[in-house]
Structure 1
């Protein structure tokens, strides 16, 4: 389901077309629901196109808004019986699609591609911005999974309370957009020594009027490709600029490659597809330092980012490239190199992986409804937040059992998370977790030591050993945990709470109800105390066999890596999702632990239980004080009480 489709061509339409090609190429069956418009095709890439009744968008008549009810959309889905519903840039029609998918218990993936709230401000109707933000949050929380194209858009969504946000960028057609498309004949017709180019919609949200400061630069000409409601106003504002109107296909590729500098001033870009196309064409980019461009432009390597709204800075960045041909070539070459691994094929393969995740999460949602609880709110992490002192509390999972380091010592998800956090500028790290410990231990000895260390971040994963006991009072241990979290929060520390989890084994089912009840209670603790929550029920692949060690009780190295990167995501570690995907690929042939499970693990555990003993008796924490993780020793000293 897409808010925009042919014959209206834009970034949303373009990505949908690429997805349909990939689905056809990989043997999947697709069906398209899109707003009706004159010239809309009935089929594309083997997928039937169902035109939904629509109305023109006021002030932008070639953009149509779908008007079908959720009931009619549900009827269309029921006829097709999809495994997944993909909502492309959902807002109006996408809202009805989200409702229909939920009604039919079908997983829905919402691809965030348009910052509608920012558009309302640009179009001079800021009173509706709050309404738009509320609608965006409500819609994306209805979806099973949300895909954000950039780090900043992911943070925007999280700030609105949207959970389950995954990163998914856009591919680029590196065969069509290529430096070889550069045309000296075309450049001669433009009549300028240096060409400053722009490609995109001519509308208020694109801020093309900012290019007027470049219209009189000596020896240059501004060439603008695109059309829209602002064209007449822009032509009057920039009399020396050349307006080529809408171009597509080879004509667009030739124009793009014939630019010397590509400039994009829009501050509401969730991604910035034309920036990728400029890089693929070997052209350096100057863009505003906000939104999608932050992920696409590397300062001084393949372009420049200027301070949002600072037109003097924009002019200075463009002058820097206009006056230095060698620099333009070097930055253009670097941009071309950067996009070579971003083919639409690889990007759409990632999308299929997200589809699989969403289908798994849909079963989680069904279980949550059976528990009569709602999905937890997204953690309120400030973008760019950094911590300098991190303490991990817990039991064997946090100690790192079944995750050996090359030197034979134990490392676990918390150790791996500490390394991710340290990469942002160094970190003092302590791990107080000891195997076999229970909630009372974390809320007692471990808590007191943690408070003495005065951390600014504390992680707690505890409860499994209580929940597999002969009898357990879930409310009591949840209350104990909440008291500990309150004390840590009162000390000024952020707290990361992780719900305990079970492997996907028949024997584990007898504890499922307890674990579910405790997870619900922990979610409540997080909501009341402002703690950051990882509800592991939201990650349905965690119980899978490859994530568990030989003893079938503790996470394997693969499982510890998985949990560490999920924690990195919720804590706002840059590119944690991409790093996790890369790590998974590097270890995809890692063997699954197997062995004499009963003799090595089950019987010793039973023996200890019968004799009232625990594996952690007499053990001490592996990092009872801070160790410094980082390149520099200048900041190693940290005051502790």
Structure 2
């Protein structure tokens, strides 16, 4: 079987209406597949104004905006007749599911009824989100739902071994292939560091810029971030928060960290400049399955202090490229950051070590692993033996 023999129906809860780590990974994957001659059709909710220009053919699935603080995201409840007819016309021979949402469940049932192979990738630890919205008591239920979903597919593709261990702990027995992530090494490099840009934001050359990078949402650990920065400020540590990104919790976060500098949403080479201009990257999130932002900081030569959680544990080498801290241990976070602030040589060596480690992460290699998995799962059973 050749890549050109594949016809992939990819289902996603978000493909182009909000820019985040999962959408970027999926779009890069589709670009790689198309370049190899694979036919791909994406089925996902859409919005009136896309966040960016997407790769490939996109079929809009009816959806509604989520209520409350996460109204920028949309939810599709199923596969209406028009979508089923489009699927029948496209005639996929493999289905890729990127989320265990209602659309993913309906698409999986559709594939199973037709005897089509199905694979699922993991991008977000949805069960951990509930902790930030006062619904933590529902976490076991959401884990059970995800366990059932991933046990119904032919292959699960987590982005790192730590996430593979998590789903095995849930009781998922489906075979696993790691779909790692890559980095744009021309964009994320220490060479893009720009002190003049920092000065324009009001950050002095003698201040250590502690960076936040990503969607400004509470589940990224913003409460812990704020408490740690307050402890550093009370301890006289010359650290300044630099926030790169936008999101619905921006105003709340600004109130919690009043001396923070908000650089707003950055993209392209401007994003590379913003990341390289940090002195330290702080990521207390426990919701990551991989942590693209952590890898971007490392590639830019920035040391990392992160939660000892999925994603970061696969990237950060404690004492070499940064420090890993027990989640929500604000004192330990503050101690780790204060040490890096106080020791410029350590900061420099950690940044250099992170840059070297990040060099091994390439998108072409990561996405080829997915294509190889498609070919293995999709080819007739008789040819596998």
Q: TM-score, normalised by structure 1?
A: 0.55
What runs of 5+ residues in structure 1 fail to find an aligned partner? 365-503, 505-539, 544-641
Secondary structure of the residue that 1:62 maps to in structure 2?
A: coil
Secondary structure of the residue that 1:259 maps to in structure 2?
A: coil
Tell me if the contact between 1:146 and 1:165 (Cα under 8 Å) persists in the aligned partners. Answer: yes
Q: Offset at 1:268?
A: 2.0
Q: Offset at 1:296?
A: 0.7
1:64 aligns with 2:64: no
1:207 aligns with 2:221: yes
1:36/1:85 Cα in 2 relative to 1: closer, same or farther (>3 Å)? same
Q: Offset at 1:294?
A: 0.6
What runs of 5+ residues in structure 2 fail to find an aligned partner? 1-10
Alignment of 1:263-412 (within 5 A): 263-360=282-379
Partner of 1:231: 250
Partner of 2:277: 258
Distance 1:334 1:230 in 2: 33
Of structures 1 and 2, the one with the larger relative CO (CA 8 A, separation 6+) is: 2
Partner of 2:134: 124
Partner of 1:523: none
Distance 1:76 1:28 in 2: 18
CA RMSD of aligned residues (A): 2.0
Tell me if the contact between 1:3 and 1:90 (Cα under 8 Å) persists in the aligned partners. Answer: no
1:108/1:134 Cα in 2 relative to 1: closer, same or farther (>3 Å)? same
Partner of 1:54: 63
Q: Offset at 1:134?
A: 1.8
Distance 2:343 2:270 in 1: 27
Q: Offset at 1:222?
A: 0.6
Q: Offset at 1:303?
A: 1.0
| 1:305-361 C-alpha deviation (Å, 9 max, x unpaired) | 01221111101111111112221121111111112121111101111111123225x
Q: Offset at 1:211?
A: 1.8
Tell me if the contact between 1:4 and 1:34 (Cα under 8 Å) persists in the aligned partners. Answer: yes
Q: Offset at 1:290?
A: 1.2
Partner of 2:265: 246
Q: Offset at 1:73?
A: 4.5
Q: Offset at 1:183?
A: 0.8
Tell me if the contact between 2:210 and 2:239 (Cα under 8 Å) persists in the aligned partners. Answer: yes
1:50/1:243 Cα in 2 relative to 1: closer, same or farther (>3 Å)? same
Secondary structure of the residue that 2:242 maps to in structure 1?
A: strand
Distance 2:86 2:114 in 1: 11
Secondary structure of the residue that 1:134 maps to in structure 2?
A: helix
1:38 aligns with 2:48: yes
Partner of 1:425: none
Distance 1:310 1:22 in 2: 40
Secondary structure of the residue that 2:212 maps to in structure 1?
A: strand
Partner of 1:555: none
Partner of 2:4: none
| 1:148-167 C-alpha deviation (Å, 9 max, x unpaired) | 12223212211222122222
Q: Offset at 1:199?
A: 0.4
Alignment of 1:91-170 (within 5 A): 91-163=101-173, 164-170=175-181
Q: Offset at 1:21?
A: 1.4
Tell me if the contact between 1:56 and 1:62 (Cα under 8 Å) persists in the aligned partners. Answer: yes
Distance 2:185 2:366 in 1: 13
